Amino acid sequence: MPNDELPFHSRRSPVLGRRGMVATSQPLAAQAGIQILNQGGSAADAAVATAAALNVTEPTSTGLGGDCFALYYQANTQQVTALNGSGRAPAGLSLDLLRRQGFSQSLPPFHAHTVTIPGACAGWCDLHTRYGKLPLANILAPAILLAEQGFPVAPVTAYSWARGVEQQLSSAPGGIELTLDGRAPRPGEIFRNPGLARTLHAVAEGGAVAFYQGQIAAAIAEVVQGAGGVLTEVDLATHHSTWDEPISTTYRGLHIWECPPNGQGLTALLALNILEHYDLAKMPALGAKRLHLIIEALRLAFADTRWYVADPAFNPAPLEGLLSKDYASERRRLIDPRRATLDRQHGSPVAGSDTIYLTVIDEHGDACSFINSNYMGFGTGIVPKGWGFTLQNRGHGFSLDPAHPNALAPGKRPYHTIIPALATHEDGSLYASFGVMGGFMQPQGHVQVMLALLDDELDPQAALDRPRVCLTDGTAGSKVALEEGIPKRTLTRLAQMGHPVESVKGHARALFGRGQIILRDRESGVLWGGSDPRADGCALAQV
């Protein structure tokens, strides 16, 4: 394993521009998006191009074997739409089958049964069909070139790649395809992925059908079944994305938008509703008083979402009640400003239940907030032979408790951690497109960067640079990680208040997510971009 210490320290200013902008975790992927914007592509076109390039340059986090979600803002209509590109459990996978095989409590994280139908390819194609302007072949061309000719692996990515080789790729069927003779590429080494280039060529020519039917689908089914899973070609051929109504709340005069369940964006909205009552701007940003309130609001939010977030086709959540300001007031009364409470239970509202992130704004003002993930780095690490991508392990997000709303069932989508976000002004104009990737950190990151932008009036880069807190397992009783840079006296005081805390530094800071923000100045139209210092990426402006 490489050294856990980050080998560099840096500071950067926000990136400013007047036309389009792309922000993501790999500069080569951001360049792919800018290239498409320069060809006259829409924010959707550039988002798909960037996501495809990220599959090449950061397979440690994302790819066609995973899922995606997107929020899309149309400047001419000021409407926000939500795309759910997540996959479902195979038709042959059931709790009864798992019990017969000895899995009554949980599944091993990299087992073939955790492979849900990869939804990313259909999501890319559906986003392009609805909002795209350029041919799909043009959009995927930069990623294909990177896969064929190779690219130098970035430092943080190389670290994650080495972890993935040890944890998944070295033992998973086909995992050797994403190594250099069995090892991870080192920082600056060139990595080529001809199998992925072949996959992208097929999608460029045949669209989603080329992925979900034919040779690629057959290879996916074969490798999963060979590893003990039950996913079939029929499961793949019947997959489809859904277009959903986004959910939102108001905070400090803005509308904050998230995708609805089965994603966990609800967590961020619940926490913001609780925190809206407090005058956080008058509290030290990294002081114990303010962080205690944030942590307690997140505990309450997770208590609700870890129960209510599930596939709405099976168990719809009472969203109207959960998002009401009255319910927020009721939950807020449970917070003791002096002490932590670790045994939070979900409420009962009455209605009137690893990853890459990228954001794009085009020259017409349309915005795409987009997230794509394998889960747990390389997912299962299983690679369909000759196709150059790993299969996700999102099925690990199911509950095996038959009484739980998120209980595994055939054809059901699991609780999903990946969430994009948008914010608009009261008049409907765009404020920002943003997201913070990283498992259960994601809604916590959304809350913290919104507080930095709105309560503290920081620019996007400064908001992303600020040290964060994280409820490590996304539960109400979770341990709290505090990022290096938060004062020791704050850690001491939070511990005295009853929070189980730990300080986190070095490469372990990946726990706090990796975010991107593009903010649009309403008066001048200038775009302000920020990219997380915990990753390899950047924001780039269109000239």
- Are the C-beta atoms of residues 396 and 114 closer than 8 Å to each other? yes
Extract the tokens encoding 87. Answer: 């996959």
Half-sphere exposure of 505 (CA within 13 A, CB side): 10
Write the DSSP assignment of 166-213 as a string of letters: IIIITTSTTGGGGSBTTBPPPTT-EE--HHHHHHHHHHHHHTHHHHHS
d(CA 356, CA 157): 12
Half-sphere exposure of 2 (CA within 13 A, CB side): 22
Q: Work out whether the CA dihedral 120, 125, 131, 137 comes out positive or negative.
A: positive
d(CA 371, CA 373): 7
Extract the tokens encoding 147. Answer: 């896969």
C-alpha dihedral (299, 303, 309, 310), degrees to nearest 10: 140
Q: Which of 81, 116, 355, 490 is catalytic?
A: 355
d(CA 531, CA 427): 27
129 is catalytic: no
Closest Cα partner for 119 from 164, 89, 143? 89
Rg from Cα positions in the chain? 22
Bridge partners of 263, per DSSP, are 416
d(CA 354, CA 141): 25
98-106: Cβ within 8 A, 24+ apart:
98/400, 98/408, 103/400, 104/400, 105/400, 106/400
Catalytic residues: 355
